[in-house]
Each structure stands twice: as structure tokens, then as C-alpha cells.
Structure 1
Amino acid sequence: MSKVASVDEAPPVEKSRLRERLGPAALWERLQGWLTGRKHSTIGFSILRILFGIAILIVLVPSYADRRYLWGAGAWWVEPEASRRGWWEPLRLLFPKDNAVVFETSFHVLLLLAVLFLVGFQTRWVTPVLLVFWVGLSTNSTLLGNGGDTLMRIVLLFVVFADLSRHFSVDAWMRSRRGSRPSRFAARMPRWVPSWTGTWAHNTVLILCVFQILLVYLVSSVLKFQGEEWVNGTAIYYALSIDQFHVMPALSQLAWQSAPVVALATWTALWVQMLFPVLILWKPTRYVAVVLITGMHLGIAVLLGLWPFSLAMIALDLLLVRDGTWLRAAARLGRIRRGVLSPAA
């Protein structure tokens, strides 16, 4: 009888433990631990810094010779539309069209800030200033930007509060050389601010960035489903047929030669974006989704020449890859490299 009784009592105990693990109090405690325990996706944020820096330089450097015609005194004809957008007026004073000295100074400061951001030098101070100058330049023209520029402005506002220089940066190199000695330029938090505030802010930014990319994919896929070309599998063919996007005409023509390949690529892009919020919930499908969506953006960059947009999207996608995964991949590559380089004997 005792054995029967113990068996009968087991399920309620297990149910009680399950309710404790899944109850509101337990979930809230786990969320607090995730937010304040340690910084997540620090490698992903460092990669985001590098890709965003490259994307900004891709916009600025090729346009350097034509900067006055695109954003300066030669762009007065865009001013009525630019003014109608209602940008905050102090931002519009950074790149004035009627003062060449101030415009040139601001443009070259922006170039310097982009380089410093890319290499990760004094990132905590450079990031907010870069955001102000990047938005200031965007106020001068409404015809040069795209969805990628809008996304970059939003994300740059978020990452002001994130740790962008933990890896692959001059800041990280200087910290390793300095050891435990504090930097003269280190931001000192007031004593009354809890020690976990920086970790909480970083992880909150991660949540906001992931939400932003999910919102982009969900809205994009819903709009795609309203287009007949996406549903019947011909949208990519028409995109590659636009003369203005023929960066490499021979490669574009090669890409649309096979109707099954075009249809498969179109439907894959459509469904991966639609299901992306669900696919990231499980680790194996998350990495499959990240690989597919990254491949899609690389295709857009190579075939259509939209490098800043693609780099911004890839940077956000890679935030979904955990630090542990990056470290394991690096260790595996290191073992392979040592095996290749080591003598056979």
C-alpha cells in the first residue's frame, strides 16, 4: 500500500514543482537574473559596431567628391521637402547649406567619428556624438536614404547604452594593456547608481534591437504577401531586372536564368521573414534562420549594391548568436588551423 500511495502522490508534487518553475514569481526572478547577471551578445554588439561603421563609410567615402551637391549648397532644391519633414532645428544647423565652412567641418568630423567608431576608440563617447552628426546629415536630403538608414538611426540611439567595445576594438586592447588600472577617460558612475545598471541597460538594448529586427521582418513579409509577384515566385526576377540596380549585370543575368531557382529564392525570402519570430525561439532553427536571412542580405548587397542596408540588417541578425557559440566556433577554427599548419610528422 505504501508503494501505491507514493506513486499516487508523485504527480501532484511534480505538478507543484512545475507550477513553481513556471509561475509569475519564478519567471520574474529568471528575467531579472538574465537582465542583471551578465552582459549578453557582447561579441554580436562588437560586430554590429564594425558593420555599422563600414556601412556609414560606404555612404560617405564614395560620395566625398560630390558631398556639396548631395548634402551641401548644391542640394538647395531638396530643401522644401527636407524642411517639411520637421527635423529638430538644432540638428539641421550641423550641416548648413549656406555656410560652406561649417558644412565642411561637420562632414570631416563625421568621417573621423565613423572611423573611430569602426575601430572602437573611446566608443562610449564617440557613439552619441556620431548619432547626432549622422542624423544631422540625414536632415539635409530626403532622396539619398532608404530603410537601412532609418534603421541605423534607430539602432544607434539604442546602442548608446550598450557595450560595443568588449571585443575587436582599440578600447579592448587598451584595457588589456592597462590591466586593472582605471582609465582617465573612464565613465565613473555615481555611488548611488546600482552596480548592475550598466548590465541591465546593455541587455535591455539587446531586447530592443531584436524587437526592431523582428518588427522589420514581420511588416516586410506581410506587405510582400500582398504582392502577386512574391506569391507566384517572380519578385526576385523583377528586382534583378531593374537597370538602376545592375551593379554587376552579368551576375544579375546569371541569377535570373533559372526559373526554379528564382522561385525558390523568392519563396524562401518570403517565408523565412514571415516565420523569423517563431524560428528564433528554438536554437537549431534560430541558427538556420540567421544563416538563411544573412545569405539573403548578402545577395541583396552583391546583386543590388545596397551594401549599407544589408550590413545594417546582418549586424542586427548576428545579435541572435550567443557569445558561447562564437567562442566555440573560434576554438574549432583554431584547432582546424593548427591541424593544417602543423607538420605532418
Structure 2
Amino acid sequence: MSRAASVDEERPVETLSLRKRFAPATLWPRLQDWLTARKHSTIGFSVLRVLFGVSMLIVLVPSYADRHYLWGAGAWWVDPEADRRGWWEPLRLLFPKDNALVFDLSFHVLLALAVLFVVGFQTRWVTPVLLVFWVGLSTNSTLLGNGGDTLMRIVLFFVVFADLSRHLSVDAWIRRRRGIRPSHRAGRMPTWVPTWLGIWTHNTVLILCVFQILLAYLVSSLLKFQGEEWLNGTAIYYALSIEQFHVLPALSQLAWQSAPVVALATWAALWVQMLFPVLILWKPTRYAAVLVITGMHLSIAILLGLWPFSLAMIALDLLLVRDGSWNRLGARLGALRRGLLSPAT
């Protein structure tokens, strides 16, 4: 037996299988199979639909009484900035500032669309219409938004072509009542569209959404490295000290009492965002990174009151959790619930 053969026999099986898995001869067929065999992250997209819709309602419902001052006739002074942004003019006709009746009609239609989006009713048709109305409202007051709103508009355009109603939706409930088994085309593509095309568009949208979140974290971390406060571990302290964001002042003051905790939280936010594109390549580190960064966004929502931004970011992060992991989590929670409810023996 040659020396090379003996070395191969001694090499761990995992190493050999890993090399075979990423061999150029098998990589392209595996990629084609991943793109066209079945839809991925269907539960994640359903969660994204719910969280995006809730984010919109958090913006619209509390602002209902002040809607004319924020987006209507009282927001004429924002028009020079809106014109500079170069919005497509027909989008701005949905919410006219010189016609309160049409504005109110469009605003209530948008509210209804957001509710339908959350519950997942007729999602295939509601999603593109919701996109048009949401962007139309955004054009009226460009100074009210932030990076999260921009990311939401981009992703909302992408997910027009994704399956958002496979789970947690009225559409899924109706399909079950009618005895329609879930399929790769269920609820999204007309019957005349080839099955592989519907799967391909869904999985391509997943790739685009993950790219957007990776780009957001990478750019954010690079900008953080330019600030001295992030490098010396005091950035979160200064963020929690801004009085305008004191939703729960006592909790904010409690959070910055421990200097080591503040420093660790600052550095964790910096490095997890910076290394996020690398951490998601391996399943254990991917789930650890998603857990840490989800906790970071929940802290931003609770301590700073930025719920729409945080929920949108969490929704995108959860796309990285596979359907199998969601199902296993659901099974474990179900077993735990049954164990708690079962009578003691």
C-alpha cells in the first residue's frame, strides 16, 4: 500500500466528506438543487411577514391622530427634501397633501392592508399593493424614517416574489380547511407558472434578503470602528444617556450602572456585526450570532423605544434559521407544554 493511500485511510471521514461536499464538480449541481428543489426558510418568511406588518402598525396606529401633521397638509415644508430624493411622482399621488379626503382614504386603506398582511390573508395580492401604499406614504415625509425604514422598503419589494403565507396565516388555514396539502407553489404562484420557477424566485429572494442584512451589519460595523466610543467601550453608555430616547428611564439608568457590562455589550455589538458574515457559515456560530444580535435589537427596542427598526432587523435575522430548526423547537416546546399540563402521577 502506498504512503498516500495510508494517509487517506487515516484521515477523518468528516474531512473527506467536507472536501467532497465543496469539490468544484459537485458544488454547482448542489447549488442548482438548493435553488430549485424546495423552498427554504418558509417559516422565517412567515415570521418576517408578521413582524414587518406589526412594525408598520406601530408606526401608523399611534400616529393616527397626527397623520395630517406628519404626512398630510401639515408636512408641506418637507417637500423640498422629498423632491431632492427623486421619488417617482405617481407614488406621491396616493397621499396628496392638498386633498384631505383622498389622503384619509389612502391612509385607512394602508391600515387595512397592514392588518391583512399580518394575518396573512390573500398575501399574494396584498403584498404588492401594500408595498405601493407604504412607499407612497414614505415619500410625503422623508425626515421621519431611518435606515430600518429604507431596509424595510427594499425587502418588501423583494418578498413580493417570496412565499410569505406558508405558515402563521389565514391563507394556510384556508388551505388546510380545503384539504390542500402544502406544496412548493402553494399560495404564491399561479398554476401556469412552472414549479421550479416559483421555488427559484423564493430562494433567490432569500439570498437577496440575507445579502441586505449582511451589508447593513458590515457597513454599520465599519462606521462604528471610526468612532472612539465604540473602541473604548462607552458607546452604549452615551446612547442610553440620550433623554429623548428614555422610554423607561429607570431601566436605562440601571443598564448603564455597571461599566464592565456596558463595555462588554458595546464590544459584543461591534464584533458580532463585524464578524456576522463569517459566523453564519457554520451552524453553531450562526445560531449563536443570531441569538446575540436578536438580543441586541430587543434591547434597542425596549431601552430606546425603536420598535419598528428592531422588529424589522430581527425579522431579517430570523431568515437564517432553517425550517427544520423551527420545527424541532416547536416540537420541544410542545412536549414541554404537554409535560406541564399533564397531571402528576
TM-score band, normalised by the shorter chain? Answer: over 0.9
The answer for the alignment partner of 2:190 in structure 1 is 188
The answer for the alignment partner of 1:309 in structure 2 is 309
Q: Secondary structure at the match of 2:271?
A: helix
The answer for the alignment partner of 1:261 in structure 2 is 261
Letter in 1 for 2:309: F
Flag as ranges the 4+ runs of structure 1 deviating above 6 A: 10-20
The answer for the alignment partner of 1:39 in structure 2 is 39
CA deviations on 1:193-246 (whole Å, 9 max, x unpaired) are 432111111111111111100000000000000000000000001001111101
The answer for the alignment partner of 1:337 in structure 2 is 337
Instruction: Report the TM-score, using the length of structure 2 for normalisation.
Output: 0.93
CA distance in 2, matches of 1:23, 1:157: 35
The answer for the alignment partner of 1:149 in structure 2 is 149
Letter in 1 for 2:323: D
Rate the CA distance shift 1:233–1:177 in 2: closer, same or farther, 3 A.
same
The answer for the alignment partner of 2:231 in structure 1 is 231
CA distance in 2, matches of 1:304, 1:213: 21
Rate the CA distance shift 1:75–1:16 in 2: closer, same or farther, 3 A.
closer
Rate the CA distance shift 1:136–1:18 in 2: closer, same or farther, 3 A.
closer
CA distance in 1, matches of 2:140, 2:44: 32
CA distance in 2, matches of 1:304, 1:106: 30
Letter in 2 for 1:84: R
The answer for the alignment partner of 2:131 in structure 1 is 131
Matches within 5 A, 1:209-224: 209-224=209-224
The answer for the alignment partner of 2:60 in structure 1 is 60
The answer for the alignment partner of 2:177 in structure 1 is 177
Rate the CA distance shift 1:316–1:18 in 2: closer, same or farther, 3 A.
closer
CA distance in 1, matches of 2:319, 2:244: 32
Q: Do the aligned residues in 1 keep the contact of 2:163 with 2:188 (CA within 8 Å)?
A: no
Q: Do the aligned residues in 1 keep the contact of 2:162 with 2:188 (CA within 8 Å)?
A: no
> Which blocks of at least 5 consecutive residues in structure 1 are unaligned?
none
Q: CA deviation at 1:258?
A: 1.0
Q: Secondary structure at the match of 1:97?
A: coil
Q: CA deviation at 1:181?
A: 9.4
Q: CA deviation at 1:180?
A: 3.5
Rate the CA distance shift 1:20–1:344 in 2: closer, same or farther, 3 A.
closer
CA deviations on 1:260-318 (whole Å, 9 max, x unpaired) are 11111100100110011111111111111001000000000000000000000000000
Q: Secondary structure at the match of 2:161?
A: coil
Q: CA deviation at 1:83?
A: 1.4
Matches within 5 A, 1:88-127: 88-127=88-127
Pick which of 303-312 and 251-260 moved more: 251-260
Q: CA deviation at 1:19?
A: 7.4
CA distance in 2, matches of 1:77, 1:305: 27
CA RMSD in angstroms comes to 2.1
CA distance in 1, matches of 2:41, 2:205: 11
Q: Do the aligned residues in 1 keep the contact of 2:50 with 2:117 (CA within 8 Å)?
A: yes
Rate the CA distance shift 1:97–1:175 in 2: closer, same or farther, 3 A.
same
CA deviations on 1:144-183 (whole Å, 9 max, x unpaired) are 101110010000001000000000100000000011399x
Letter in 1 for 2:197: T
Percent identity, please.
Answer: 80
Letter in 2 for 1:293: I
Number of aligned positions between the proteins: 337
CA distance in 2, matches of 1:315, 1:16: 36
The answer for the alignment partner of 2:73 in structure 1 is 73
Q: CA deviation at 1:100?
A: 1.1
Letter in 1 for 2:190: R
Letter in 1 for 2:54: I
> Which blocks of at least 5 consecutive residues in structure 2 are unaligned?
none
CA deviations on 1:63-83 (whole Å, 9 max, x unpaired) are 000000000011111111111
The answer for the alignment partner of 1:166 in structure 2 is 166
CA distance in 2, matches of 1:316, 1:261: 27
